[in-house]
Amino acid sequence: MNGILLGLALGVIGLVLSLYALSSTSGRTRPEAGKDVPASSGRLSRNPVWVRYHARYYGYALLFLAFDMEMAYMYPWAVVYRQEGLVALLDMGVFLAILFLGLLYGWSQGALRRQ
């Protein structure tokens, strides 16, 4: 087992070093004025590059992640549901109850309100 991991680690290190050597020997980059200018769709950007997003978008992102994780966990649960039985059903019920509490909290804070 340790030999396999050592072989994989050496292979990855060898690949990285060979790609680095290939890129450094293939040619140097030329400095151009247009490469350092922030652009959007071929035009210069009017806004600064490091624009902060409004805080209300974080609520949308958290709700999306909560329901995205729900789907990521429900598929494997559905696969093993027949084998586990009532225990799996209760576990998923607790999981969905916690997500529902998060949804209620987001709703109470106005995360679902249209801006």
DSSP string, the chain: -HHHHHHHHHHHHHHHHHHHHHHHHH-PPPP-GGGGS-EETTEE-SS-SSPPPPTHHHHHHHHHHHHHHHHHHHHHHHHHHHHHTHHHHHHHHHHHHHHHHHHHHHHHTTTTS--
Mean pLDDT of 66-76: 82
Least confident of 4-8, 76-80, 109-113: 109-113
pLDDT for res 51: 67
